[in-house]
Amino acid sequence: MSNDRFQNNEPDDADRLEQALPDGPQADREIGVDANDAGEAASARTGEATADAYGRGEGVGEGQEVQGLSQGQIVWSRFIRHRGAIFGLVTLGLVILLSVLSMGIGPIPGLWRVQEITSGDVIDGGRPTLSVPGIGGATGFAIGANPFGQDSLGRDYFAQVMLGVQTSLLVAFILGIVALLIGVTVGSAAGFYRGKVDMALMRFTDLIITLPVIVLGAVLGALVSRVPLRIGAGPELTASIRENMPVMLAVALGCILWTGLARLVRSEFLTLREREFVDSARVAGASDWRIITKHMLPNAIGVIVVNGTLLMSAAVTLEAALSFVNFGIGPPNISLGYLISDNQGAFSTRPWLFWWPGLFIILIALSINFIGDGLRDAFDPRTKKIPSARAMAKAEKQLVASRGAASAQSNGATAVQSNGATAVQSKEDAS
Amino acid sequence: MARFIARRLALAVGTLFVLSFLMYGLLEFALDPLVDLRENPAPNRQELIDNRIRLLNLDVPWYQRYFLWLGNFLTGDFGIAWRTMQPVATLVRGAIATSVQLVFAATIISILLGVTIGLVSALRQYTSFDYAITFVSFLLYSLPIFWVAVLLKQFLAIGANDYLQSPTVNWPLVVILSIVSGLFWAGALGGKRAKRIQVFVGAFVVTLAVFAGALLTGWVNNPTIGIVGIGVLSVALALGVSALFAGMNNKRALYAALTTAVLGTVLWWPLQWLFFYVEMNWLWIIGLLALSLALAALIGWLFGGPDRQISIRGAMITALFTSVLIFVDRVLQTWVPYNNAPQIRGRPLATIGASTPGLNADFWMAQLDRATHIMLPTLALVLISFATYVRYQRGAMLEVLNQDYIRTARAKGLSERVVIVRHALRNALMPLASIVPVDFITLIGGAVITETIFGWAGMGRLFITSMDGQEVDPVMFYIILTGGLAMIANLVADFLYAVIDPRIRVNA
């Protein structure tokens, strides 16, 4: 039973390869095809074929070269080919556009008719007026007065959710920046100076990493909400502090989420500082600051960008969870977690109050995660873009055709060649 | 080695001390024990405030109070939760037990499931199956747990209870589930197109038949396994385990596993008498399990052969599975009286709490009651943490599969099963040693959000209610406990890793 299972696990293109190369010597085909993931084997064997296959790098059959391109260009060209990342980028962009266009940003008013959240009459039980053909038996597309419905006080829910989206994104962004700053500073100092500095900074990191994030977050959330009282602020100052609660919370949470990033940057720096270009910079008389910022940080940018992105997606769910247990954002501010927490009792009567904020949390977190994944693949030099099955077939046909035309090489070499192209796909990050 | 451990322990104690000091300071700022009295209109307000200040020593500066607290803590006095005036020690005892119960099952299930699926996903790298698993794990990773938990409560629990009360089969759902199952198995087993289509059809038909059988014959209203079910499932597992870990050519291992399965099934009958006449408790159950494992080891040893260990291992896995089946079977026998109990009234899936209050239950029914309560929070926790393990294990397996020695193993002609199970799998599982201890030890800290939603009085909920109630002592206990355990877990993980990976040397 499972013998079959493990013996027959050639990649899907196995039969296709056989069709394309009916005469290829069995032995050559075996290595590339059977060695599912260690497909490097095939490419490592023949230098020329390897170079050719690697040069094709990105999209086999398109002949894309990476030579002579800057890191930014290579990363960008890889990134925009990552379907998940583009999906994430577009989704996130649409969500931001929707929330900004509808509710405005800061003092600039938006286009949606409800700009002030006020209670009013509950129409039709507060049911959402949004109708999309095919869902719930609706015949035409209509937005209506309250596309996401109304809550029990008759407040427009679309406006609330859009404000919540803005708050969540703001928190995620500020938190990401703060965590990035602290993490990169601590990590690079520890990795660059090593010794006592490293020891002290890493013990400090251990201190923060010991407690679960949600616990520290709850304590900091309670602390932030207590600030006006503790500094004995007057009513006006209190009101303005309360207005800016999300920013303060984001900064506070940023102060605890940097630890993972600091560790990664540190280990990256520990290897980078042994490299020759750092030595030559030092011999040339560069200061520590210059070496760190101009020579080493650009080499660690991949780790930093990827983790900064993933931090932001963690921030969205963390903020929502904290607001849910009342240690995050509360009135007068609106966040997605607060909306869910506020309305969870109404699930059986007004389920839409529960659906919309959750949907937007997932959309935001998922798209940021996909962007992070795309960035990781784009920055990792070991990663090669995986062409779709159709692109692979096309590439193989082209290869066979070109080889057939040249007819200088034997069929065996063709098999290796095309296996080399197959092998490219197996080099993914092992993270 | 002793020096290494001593140094790490000293460091941990120091860190814990600094941590507790800082957290005490933060909590002093964050919590306000006088908050309810400040707006109290009572005429004796000042007197009340004075009383509370005296009770909580609020008149001394916080750093002095910290050392008072630390002195008490070190002598075993963990303080009081002043709202109820209960000592923290008594509050915590029940909470830890509840949290461990809740998170233990969820952690084990998500590790087993996540690791297995991550491994298969790595073996099927860049297939549609791999992409689908990646997408699903990203999706689960992005889900807010409180949202999932409320959805599970509303749809799964209430839906299932409604179904049990008035069964009307939702055929489209059944068919969709069967298709998903077919796609899953076809993707997981892989192979050429013809084989995948066969697997798809097979899995689809089997799933559909199982669902239809369970729903139409009313099995779900009175679920039992019975001796026949135990026999069939055990033999199937014995075959599977032998095929996977020993290979069908190893007849001794196969016969050992099969013998164990048959013996276990036969033992079902005398065990029913034992369960009937003797009042069971967990000691008995663990003893019986140990006995069955010893018996299985003996069977494997007797079949022996040159590779005795494999036979013993296969037999023991089978015995474990069969024992669990017999246990579950006995628990399910209490289904009908449980379901008809006045506290349940035919709605067995619970959405809140850890047990039904006032249920007059014997040992077996208490287990069933626990199972119906733990199901939803476990599912919610598994859905969330499963994704992490999938990503982690997939990465680890891919890393191993690209190593040179795997190519060597293939090149010298080993079968794919041996390459994967004996060469790749072991090394791919090694990184787990650094995360599993942490996950297990920290589970005593509970799951803050899940416990709050499902109303489990565990450690996480204790933390949240104490924060809400402005009580410093329980919060501090929680912080010391989770912090200390996390440090121990990291120490264990490092130690374990050094033991199983010869490349890592411990230098003090």
| Nearest C-alpha in B relative to A41 | B407
pLDDT of residue B230: 92
DSSP one-letter string for B42-83: -TTHHHHHHHHHHHHTTTS-HHHHHHHHHHHHHTT---EETT
pLDDT of residue A66: 61
Q: Omega of the bond prior to A332 within 30 degrees of 0, cis?
A: yes
Q: Report the alpha-carbon distance of residue A1 to residue A284 in Å, rounded.
A: 66
pLDDT of residue A386: 54
Q: Tell me how close the Cα of A210 comes to any Cα of chain B, in angstroms.
A: 5
- Give the pLDDT confidence of B349-362 residue by residue, as tens digits: 877 877 787 777 78
Q: Which amino acid appears at position B456 of this protein?
A: W
CB contact under 8 Å between B147 and A358, yes or no, is: yes
| Nearest C-alpha in B relative to A200 | B15
Q: Cα B368 vs. chain centroid, distance in angstroms?
A: 17
Minimum mean pLDDT range among A117-121, A413-417, B91-95 = A413-417
- What's chain A's average pLDDT? 73
Q: Report the alpha-carbon distance of residue A188 to residue B208 in Å, rounded.
A: 57
Mean pLDDT to the nearest integer, A284-292: 92
- What's chain B's average pLDDT? 86
CB contact under 8 Å between B415 and A218, yes or no, is: no
pLDDT of residue A184: 93
pLDDT of residue A183: 93
**Would you place residue A418 in the very low, low, confident or very high pLDDT band (cuts 50, 70, 90)?**
very low
Q: Tell me how close the Cα of B11 comes to any Cα of chain A, in angstroms.
A: 9
**Is the pLDDT confidence value at B405 over 50?**
yes
Q: Which CATH number fits domain A83-117+156-379: 1.10.3430.10, 3.40.50.2000, 1.10.3720.10, 1.10.260.40?
A: 1.10.3720.10
Q: CB under 8 Å to A292, separation ≥6 — which residues? A: A188, A192
CB contact under 8 Å between A220 and B147, yes or no, is: no
Which A residues, 327 through 366, put their C-beta within 8 Å of a C-beta on chain B?
327, 337, 340-341, 344, 347-348, 351, 354, 358, 361-362, 365-366
Provide Rg for chain B, Cα atoms: 27
**Is the pLDDT confidence value at A42 over 70?**
no
Tell me how far CA of residue A22 lies from CA of A27, A92, A226, in angstroms: 13, 47, 75
A390 at B interface, C-beta within 8 A: no
Measured between beta carbons, which residues in chain B are less than 8 angstroms from residue A37?
122-123, 125, 398, 401-402
- Give the pLDDT confidence of A228-268 residue by residue, as tens digits: 777 777 778 888 888 888 888 899 899 888 988 998 999 88
- pTM value is 0.80
Which of A7, A40, A207 is most worth mutating to test chain B (most B CB atoms within 10 A of its CB)?
A207
Mean pLDDT to the nearest integer, B257-265: 93
Tell me how far CA of residue A199 lies from CA of A182, A205, B15, B40, B495, in angstroms: 17, 10, 13, 50, 20
DSSP one-letter string for B91-152: HHHHHHHHHHHHHHHHHHHHHHHHHHHHHHHHHTTTSHHHHHHHHHHHHHHHS-HHHHHHHI
Q: Contact at 8 Å (CB) between A395 and A60?
A: yes
Measured between beta carbons, which residues in chain A are less than 8 angstroms from residue B127?
11-12
The angle, 0 to 180 degrees and rounded to 10, between the axes of the packed helices B226-241 and B251-277 is: 150
Q: Contact at 8 Å (CB) between B486 and B499?
A: no
In 10 A of CB A285, how many CB atoms? 7
Mean pLDDT to the nearest integer, A49-73: 53
Six-digit token pair at A134? 């095919």
A181 at B interface, C-beta within 8 A: no
Q: Contact at 8 Å (CB) between B463 and B475?
A: yes
A37 at B interface, C-beta within 8 A: yes
CB contact under 8 Å between B244 and A366, yes or no, is: no
Six-digit token pair at A392? 């692979």
What is the phi/psi pair of residue B86, to 5°?
Answer: -90, 140
**Would you place residue B320 in the very low, low, confident or very high pLDDT band (cuts 50, 70, 90)?**
very high
**Is the pLDDT confidence value at B391 over 50?**
yes
For residue A108, what are the β-bridge partners?
A: A105
Q: Report the alpha-carbon distance of residue A69 to residue A80 in Å, rounded.
A: 15
In 10 A of CB A367, how many CB atoms? 24
B15 at A interface, C-beta within 8 A: yes
| Nearest C-alpha in B relative to A39 | B402
pLDDT of residue A423: 34
Measured between beta carbons, which residues in chain B are less than 8 angstroms from residue A214?
448-449
Which A residues, 220 through 259, put their C-beta within 8 Å of a C-beta on chain B?
220, 222-223, 226, 229-230
Measured between beta carbons, which residues in chain A are less than 8 angstroms from residue B19?
207, 210-211
Q: CB under 8 Å to B288, separation ≥6 — which residues? A: B271, B323
Measured between beta carbons, which residues in chain B are less than 8 angstroms from residue A207?
15, 18-19, 22
B143 at A interface, C-beta within 8 A: yes
Q: Contact at 8 Å (CB) between A58 and A424?
A: no
- Give the pLDDT confidence of A171-194 residue by residue, as tens digits: 999 999 999 999 999 999 999 998
**Would you place residue B227 in the very low, low, confident or very high pLDDT band (cuts 50, 70, 90)?**
confident
CB contact under 8 Å between B123 and A9, yes or no, is: yes
Q: Report the alpha-carbon distance of residue A275 to residue A258 in Å, rounded.
A: 26
| Nearest C-alpha in A relative to B243 | A2
Mean pLDDT to the nearest integer, B350-379: 84
CB contact under 8 Å between A1 and B243, yes or no, is: yes
Residue with token string 């309560």: B373
What is the phi/psi pair of residue B81, to 5°?
Answer: -90, 105
Tell me how far CA of residue A420 lies from CA of A388, B191, B451, in angstroms: 16, 21, 53
**Would you place residue A38 in the very low, low, confident or very high pLDDT band (cuts 50, 70, 90)?**
very low
Three-state SS sequence of B383-402: HHHHHHHHHHHHHHHHHHHC
**Would you place residue B335 in the very low, low, confident or very high pLDDT band (cuts 50, 70, 90)?**
confident
pLDDT of residue A12: 37
pLDDT of residue B231: 92
Minimum mean pLDDT range among A371-385, B74-88, B441-455 = A371-385
Polymer length of chain A:
431
Is A131 in a helix, a strand, or coil?
strand
**Is the pLDDT confidence value at B443 over 80?**
no
B27 at A interface, C-beta within 8 A: yes
Of B18, B26, B125, the CB nearest to A219: B26
CB contact under 8 Å between B150 and A354, yes or no, is: yes
Q: Report the alpha-carbon distance of residue A386 to residue A419 in Å, rounded.
A: 14
- How many CA atoms, within 13 angstroms, populate the side-chain half-sphere of residue B125? 28
| Nearest C-alpha in A relative to B38 | A229
Which B residues, 262 through 301, put their C-beta within 8 Å of a C-beta on chain A?
none
Q: Tell me how close the Cα of B419 comes to any Cα of chain A, in angstroms.
A: 9
Q: Tell me how close the Cα of B34 comes to any Cα of chain A, in angstroms.
A: 12
The angle, 0 to 180 degrees and rounded to 10, between the axes of the packed helices A411-424 and A26-34 is: 0
Q: Report the alpha-carbon distance of residue A333 to residue A140 in Å, rounded.
A: 35
CB-defined contacts A:B, below 8 A: 194
pLDDT of residue A134: 63
- Give the pLDDT confidence of B113-165 residue by residue, as tens digits: 999 999 999 998 888 888 899 889 888 888 888 888 888 888 888 888 888 87
| Nearest C-alpha in A relative to B418 | A6
A97 at B interface, C-beta within 8 A: no
DSSP one-letter string for A26-39: HHHHHHHHHSSS-T
| Nearest C-alpha in A relative to B399 | A430
Q: Report the alpha-carbon distance of residue A125 to residue A351 in Å, rounded.
A: 12
CB contact under 8 Å between B482 and A5, yes or no, is: no
Q: Report the alpha-carbon distance of residue B448 to residue B221 in Å, rounded.
A: 34
Predicted ipTM of the assembly: 0.81
Q: Report the alpha-carbon distance of residue B136 to residue B143 in Å, rounded.
A: 11
Q: Tell me how close the Cα of A405 comes to any Cα of chain B, in angstroms.
A: 31
pLDDT of residue A431: 33
DSSP structure class, residue A123: P
Six-digit token pair at B210? 């199982």
| Nearest C-alpha in A relative to B485 | A210
Which A residues, 72 through 91, put their C-beta within 8 Å of a C-beta on chain B?
84
**Would you place residue A27 in the very low, low, confident or very high pLDDT band (cuts 50, 70, 90)?**
very low
The angle, 0 to 180 degrees and rounded to 10, between the axes of the packed helices A301-324 and A245-254 is: 130
CB contact under 8 Å between B406 and A12, yes or no, is: no
Which carries the bigger pLDDT value, residue B46 or residue A276? A276
Q: Contact at 8 Å (CB) between B329 and B367?
A: no
**Domains of chain A, residue spans:** 83-117+156-379, 122-149, 386-431
Q: Contact at 8 Å (CB) between B99 and B460?
A: yes
B39 at A interface, C-beta within 8 A: no
DSSP one-letter string for B3-26: HHHHHHHHHHHHHHHHHHHHHHHH
Q: Cα A431 vs. chain centroid, distance in angstroms?
A: 14
Q: Tell me how close the Cα of A362 comes to any Cα of chain B, in angstroms.
A: 6
Q: CB under 8 Å to B282, separation ≥6 — which residues? A: none
Q: Report the alpha-carbon distance of residue A33 to residue A19 in Å, rounded.
A: 13
CB contact under 8 Å between A229 and B32, yes or no, is: yes
DSSP one-letter string for A256-319: TTTHHHHHHHHHHHHHHTTSHHHHHHHHTT--HHHIIIIIIGGGGHHHHHHHHHHHHHHHHHHH
- State the distance between the two ends of chain B, measured CA to CA, in whole angstroms: 7
Tell me how far CA of residue B370 lies from CA of B12, B101, B156, in angstroms: 37, 9, 17
Six-digit token pair at B105? 């099952």
- Give the pLDDT confidence of A374-408 residue by residue, as tens digits: 888 888 766 555 555 666 777 778 888 877 666 54
What is the phi/psi pair of residue A10, to 5°?
Answer: -65, 155
